[in-house]
Amino acid sequence: MKKYLILFLVILLDIISLSLFSAQSAQKEIKNVKVYYEKGMFGGWPANFGIWNWGNEILVGFAKGYYKDLGPKMHNIDRNKPELHLLARSLDGGETWKIEDPCSSGRGDLFVPNHGSYHGIERTDVKLEKVVPCKGINFENPNLAFTLRMTNTDGGESRFWYSYNRGHSWKRPSLLPDFNTFGTAARTDYIVDGKKECTLFITVSKSDHKEGRVMCVKTTDGGKNWNFVSWVGPEPREGYAIMPASARLSKNEVLVTIRRNTHISAYFSPDNCKTWNRLINPVEDTGEGNPPAMIKLKDGRVCLAYGSRKKPFSICAKLSSDKGQSWSNAFTLRSDGSGRDMGYPRIVQRPDGKVIVVYYFQDEKTGPERYIGCTIWSPPAI
């Protein structure tokens, strides 16, 4: 009996040691870098823009404003000064970044609404251009960058732009239909299905004109026309369901995660977005609303990244090996946040398998300014 007890303890110690080693190894695989930081300025909300990658070349959008202390419960951006919508580009898989202003040519037709404002006032150094009809997009162009932006979170108009040269220049914006709703509030979340076919997941106004619920729409003629496909989940009776993140798992299977007021929900379609089944919540508590970012990894698993707006303020990730039916425990990519004004991630995977998560963040070491951060991470086997 004593012999078996000793053997059991040895095996138990081996399991504990292996678990600790795996956790330590995973922690060593995490690297945090700054994408954009500028003293006296505010960098924010990559999830409101988009991320694109071509091998180790990565492009991500974000907002730049002027920092102003408005208290711990507010976005600390000066609303009486201009807000710029910029791009950050990395040529080495997220290790280093350079900032680009898509409006530097004087054209203000990228990421900038023709009326209203998101957080700061409109720029005065660019000429805003009117929307034009879409003449047709080749969604399979190898250098394509495609993005959507809104004019109002409660539902206004949404526009889309595209680039055939990896975001160095962009075509003028075209207007997305309102799909018989009280308004749309689209951010960039799309699945390319063919040369002329693309599926979008967008937020639209609820029946009470408030934000919002998620709709799936599709084009089969290169963006000239967009048609309603389905609602992703019912209209929330209270609060909102907004800012979807989608991943195609197979020819007919699609997984969508959605930002809710305090958690992240998930829906699975077995029939190419015609119908949806509610899954368990990947994240039960985000502290307050914070959007998901999601990709299908090269090994077939799904990786979800999100910001946790509760102490300790963190950037986290989860993995699913069964198409969102279940999720791993959270991997903490960083937990050194100094406040709740953070998160809004975007995510891509490098050719070497490492995952790049881009978000906005604040920490005591850097100072009060919000900045755009990037975590380079190797997802462990689960």
What confidence tens digit (pLDDT) does each residue in 211-223 have?
A: 899 999 999 999 9
For 158, the 3-state DSSP assignment is strand
Q: Which pLDDT belongs to residue 110?
A: 62
- Whether the pLDDT of residue 123 is over 80: the answer is no
- Condensed to tens digits (0 to 9), the pLDDT of residues 31-81 reads 999 999 999 999 999 999 999 999 999 999 999 999 999 999 899 999 999
Tokens of 239: 């609060």
Bond into 291 cis (ω within 30): no
| Share above pLDDT 70 across residues of the chain, in percent, rounded to a whole number | 88
Q: Which pLDDT belongs to residue 84?
A: 87
DSSP-derived secondary structure letter, 104: T
CA 61, 268, 206: angle at the middle one, nearest 5? 65
Beta-carbon count within 10 A of 114 CB? 15
Question: What Cα–Cα distance (Å) separates residue 370 from each residue in 329, 334, 338, 344?
Answer: 28, 15, 10, 12
Burial class (CB within 10 angstroms; exposed 0-12, middle 13-18, buried 19+) of 122: middle
- Whether the pLDDT of residue 113 is over 70: the answer is no
Q: What is the mean pLDDT of the chain?
A: 90
What is the separation of C-alpha 88 from the centre of its chain, rounded to a whole number of angstroms?
15
Q: What is the pTM of this model?
A: 0.91
What is the separation of C-alpha 100 from the centre of its chain, rounded to a whole number of angstroms?
19
Amino acid at 9: L
How far is 353 from 351, CA to CA, in rounded Å?
5
Q: Which pLDDT belongs to residue 122?
A: 74
Mean of the pLDDT values across residues 275-281? Answer: 98
Per-residue DSSP letters for 36-81?
A: E--TTEEEE-GGGT-EEEETTEEEEEEEEEEB----TTS--B-TTS
Beta-carbon count within 10 A of 374 CB? 26
* Domains by residue range for the chain, with CATH: 2-377 (2.120.10.10)
SS (H, E, C) 207-249: CCCCEEEEEEEEECCCCCCCEEEEECCCCCCCCCEEEEEEEEC
Beta-carbon count within 10 A of 369 CB? 16
Contact 93, 376 (CB under 8 A): yes
How far is 23 from 134, CA to CA, in rounded Å?
50
| Share above pLDDT 90 across residues of the chain, in percent, rounded to a whole number | 78
- Condensed to tens digits (0 to 9), the pLDDT of residues 233-247 reads 999 999 999 999 999
- Whether the pLDDT of residue 109 is over 60: the answer is no
Question: What Cα–Cα distance (Å) separates residue 52 from each residue in 55, 61, 271, 356, 363?
Answer: 10, 9, 27, 11, 27
Mean of the pLDDT values across residues 325-342? Answer: 98
Q: Which pLDDT belongs to residue 268?
A: 98
pLDDT: which is higher, 381 or 90 = 90
Tell me the pLDDT band of 2, cut-offs 50, 70 and 90: low
